[in-house]
Every structure is written in structure tokens, then in C-alpha cells.
Copies of this chain bind each other. A is one copy, B any other.
Amino acid sequence: MAQQDAQNGAATENSSPTLSFLAFKPQLFVEALKANDAVLFYKNAFAAEEVSRTLNPKRKADQETPLVLSADLKIAGSSFVVATVDDPASLVKNGGNGVVFSLEAEDIEAAIAKAVSAGAVAEGEVVEFEGAYGGRRVGKVTDPYGYVWQISTPVKKSADVEV
């Protein structure tokens, strides 16, 4: 598909054909202790279908730890995530009142650089998290309209990486 420069706006279009994303989902953050109730609410209220849930690996050692870390849900074929924060105060501090748009990128550095060159502001560094299904590298940008986008990618196997 040929790209045309937009002629009718202040900004111009410069989409790169190499930038691609594997998934886009809104994440709705809730208090960790309310995650199970929230998943049930979205099932009851909006007939959401639960695709998967990630349980907290620390739960076995400490039964006070909330069980659900996140849950992937679907309504009308579109996905969203019930994600959790341990500290309810961080929901208010967070831009977007708890909504963060999640993008899965093939190349996280290129994706963040591209977003920043388009006018987004990078929030902190790209950090690595260990998860139940392998590590993820995660970065965050805020767009010019105040919305927060989390960009992530699975960590490549470290066997091939030189130290």
C-alpha cells in the first residue's frame, strides 16, 4: 500500500513499513485485592469471555498475597486486560485513571524511538521483568494527548547473547 503525505493537517505522515506490532490491548488497572471481583463483574455485566489469567507466583508462600496478577478478557472478539496494582494510590497518580494501552512490539527500541520522534515522551528506561512464561522487556511512553502506552516484547533467549 502506497503511503501518501497528508496535505490537510499540521503534522505530516511518515509511517515506516518496518514498524509493526503484534497486539494492542487496553489494560484496566484495578487494586490487586479486587482483581477477581473485577473479572467476575466484566463477565456478568458485559458478557466478557475470560481467555487466560496469570496468577501471582508469590501466592504459594504467602496466602495474604492476592491471587490474580492479570486476566485477559474478550468482548465481541476484542481483547482487554484486567491488570493489577498493589497500591490503590498509584491508580490515581497514573495518567489515564488506570487505563494503559498495551502494545506488543517486535523491536521495542525502534518502537519507542519512533513514538518519541512522533511526539511522545518516554517514561523511564526499558526494564526487564521475570514472568511465569519467560521474561519481558517493558517501556512506557505518554502521548501528546495524555494517554499512556506500554510497549513490551518477550526477552530473547540469553544463550545467544554475548556477555
Q: Which residue of B43, B47, B96, B111 contacts A20 across the interface (Cβ within 8 Å)?
A: B47
Interface residues of A in 1-47 (CB under 8 A from B): 6, 8-16, 19-26, 28, 30, 34, 36-47
Q: CA A40 – CA B12 in complex, angstroms? A: 7
B119 pairs with A104, CB closer than 8 A: no
Q: Which residue of B43, B78, B99, B146 contacts A15 across the interface (Cβ within 8 Å)?
A: B43
Q: Which residue of B21, B34, B41, B79 contacts A46 across the interface (Cβ within 8 Å)?
A: B21
Q: Shortest CB–CB separation between residue A17 and chain B, in angstroms? A: 9
Map CB proximity to B onto A90-125 as digits: 1 under 8 Å, 0 otherwise: 010001111101011000000100110111100000
- Residue of B with least CB distance to A30: B145
List, in ascending order, chain B residues with CB within 8 A of A15's CB.
43-44, 47
Q: Is A76 an interface residue (CB 8 A)?
A: yes
A interface residue numbers (CB < 8 A to B)? 6, 8-16, 19-26, 28, 30, 34, 36-47, 67, 75-80, 91, 95-99, 101, 103-104, 111, 114-115, 117-120, 141, 143-147, 149
Per CB-CB distance, the 6 closest pairs between chain A and chain B, nearest first, are A45-B118, A44-B118, A24-B75, A45-B115, A11-B40, A24-B78
B78 pairs with A28, CB closer than 8 A: no
Q: CA A149 – CA B46 in complex, angstroms? A: 10
Give 14 A-B pairs besides A15-B47, A45-B120 with Cβ atoms closer than 8 angstroms: A8-B67, A13-B43, A21-B76, A23-B78, A24-B75, A41-B143, A44-B117, A44-B119, A45-B119, A46-B103, A96-B97, A96-B99, A97-B97, A99-B147
